[in-house]
Structure 1
Amino acid sequence: MQTLPKSQLLRFVEEAFQLAKRAVARYSSKFSKHRYTLHQHIVLPCLKVRKDTTYRTLLDELIEMPRVRNAISMTKIPAPSTLCKAFDRLDMAVWRVLLNLSVSLLPTNGVVGIDASGFDRSHASKHYTKRTKLTVQQLKVTFSIDTRANAILDLHVTTTRKHDTQIAPSLINCNAGKVGVLLGDKGYDDQQIRAMARESAVRPLIKHHEFSSLQKAWNARLDTGLYDQLSQSETVNSRLKRKYGVFVRSRC
């Protein structure tokens, strides 16, 4: 019988499984029941997002995916609630490690654009928010994106009205080794950001607010060939919203 080639879905699962094995231990604790591994608990949510489906539907389809189950060494199908609870227990640091490891697989060039975008949370239950007297605020998400691979290097999420110049320093510090050129619009026009970037051996290409003829001259001397690559950040933001929507929701 002819061996079928690997599908894109199978290759995705295999790569995610290898990254998970590099990021975390096999089990979360020595007291674990050892029914499922942390690696499986990481790969299945990734597969859920990849297929843009629910846990319940994913697990139903997984019954008919023997090659995918073999790729992650899964002999039993967990309940949807098991994956929901496992996802809640995973620390954000784990996902940051996975993000960093996945970026290392891509052909990046060190030219990084920083840009912010808003995500709504309007699909929260109005009945629940009214009873609990909660105020649901919009999320402000700031991405640092490599312009060659269109890869997200890092992100910052907040519900406050924090200014862009207050968010950028943390993204620069966390990714100094991956950034050679930092691109930013006038929202990141701040001398402290420029000084911090230069201290980290990063070349800042950030537009100035044009309050004087000198600032207009500085903008005129910007390397437009590099600066125009900032549009890649807006492209990634747009693609994310087209694929996953402009709002954040919880769906199991």
Structure 2
Amino acid sequence: MKALPKSKILRFTEKAIHLARQAVSRYSSKFSKHRYTLPQHVVLLCLKVRKNTTYRGLLDELIEMPRIRRVLGLAELPTASTLCKAFNRLDMAVWRIILTLSTTLLPTSGVVGVDASGFDRTHASKHYTKRAELTIQQLKVTLLVDAKVNAILNLHVTTTRKHDSQIAPPLIKRNPEDIDILLGDKGYDDQKIRRLARQHEVRPLIKHREFTSLHKAWNTRLDADLYGQRSQSETVNSTLKRKYGAFVRSRRW
């Protein structure tokens, strides 16, 4: 009998477990029960996000996914509370490492756009929160996106009102080898960003705020076709919100 071809979700799981084993140790502590490994937890959490489901919904589907369980090496499934606690224990640094490793699988171009967008911390309607006089703090998420493959190279998340010009430098410092050309709108118009980019051999293609005729002239001389690729960053932000929602369910940050 001919073997069944690999599904997209199976190929995703194989790549995810490979990256997770590079990013994290086998167990979180030598005192852990060694029942499930950290890479297993990481991939299960990735599957939950990919399928846009709940912890219980994911575990219910995995009962009927023997090939996925085999790839993960799961003889039995964890409980929903186990996965929830695993998510709360994992640091942002772990997810950043996995994100960085995943980009090595893609043919990135070096033309990178930076753009920010806001995400609500709950899915309560704006009408209700306004009527009830509730204040819901937003997350400001800044993405570094490759313009060719729309891959997220890195990100910065904050609950403060930090200006774009303060967020861009750490992103440049973390990914200098992935950036040849940096595309940004007028929110990133800062000479410190331009100097930092050039120090890392990155060409900054950032529009100037037009206070004088000289600024207008500089903007006119920008490569319009190249700068136009900055819209891919906005496309990625829009896609994330349409696919997963414009809010985050987690109440912790």
The yes-or-no answer on 1:141 pairing with 2:123 is: no
Output one character per residue of 1:85-144: Cα deviation in whole Å (capped at 9) or x when no partner.
11111111111110000011011011110001111124369xxx9xxxx95311111111
Per-residue deviation, 1:25: 1.4
1:215 aligns with: 215
Per-residue deviation, 1:202: 0.5
The yes-or-no answer on 1:64 pairing with 2:40 is: no
8 Å contact kept, 1:124–1:249: no
2:108 aligns with: 108
In terms of mean alpha carbon deviation, does 85-94 or 4-13 score higher? 85-94
**Matched residue SS, 1:9:** helix
The yes-or-no answer on 1:98 pairing with 2:94 is: no
8 Å contact kept, 2:120–2:136: no
Q: How does 1:208-247 map to 2 (within 5 A)?
A: 208-247=208-247
1:15 aligns with: 15
Output one character per residue of 1:55-85: Cα deviation in whole Å (capped at 9) or x when no partner.
1011111111110000011001111001111
1:182 aligns with: 182
Per-residue deviation, 1:220: 0.9
Per-residue deviation, 1:2: 2.1
Measured in 2, the distance between the counterparts of 1:211 and 1:239 equals 34
- Structure 2, unmatched stretches of 5+, are none
1:73 aligns with: 73
The yes-or-no answer on 1:85 pairing with 2:85 is: yes
Change (3 A) 1:25 1:122: closer
> Identity, % of aligned pairs?
71
| Amino acid in structure 2 at the alignment position of 1:123 | H
1:170 aligns with: 170
2:156 aligns with: 156
Measured in 2, the distance between the counterparts of 1:96 and 1:112 equals 17
Measured in 2, the distance between the counterparts of 1:191 and 1:207 equals 11
8 Å contact kept, 2:117–2:237: yes
Measured in 2, the distance between the counterparts of 1:160 and 1:183 equals 24
Measured in 2, the distance between the counterparts of 1:4 and 1:122 equals 41
| Amino acid in structure 1 at the alignment position of 2:29 | S
1:120 aligns with: 120
- Structure 1, unmatched stretches of 5+, are none
| Amino acid in structure 1 at the alignment position of 2:195 | A
| Amino acid in structure 2 at the alignment position of 1:107 | P
| Amino acid in structure 1 at the alignment position of 2:101 | L
Per-residue deviation, 1:248: 1.4
**Matched residue SS, 2:73:** coil
| Amino acid in structure 2 at the alignment position of 1:222 | L
Q: How does 1:190-209 map to 2 (within 5 A)?
A: 190-209=190-209
8 Å contact kept, 2:121–2:250: no
Q: With structure 2 as the length reference, what TM-score do the two structures score? A: 0.93
Aligned residues: 246
**Matched residue SS, 1:117:** strand
**Matched residue SS, 2:88:** helix
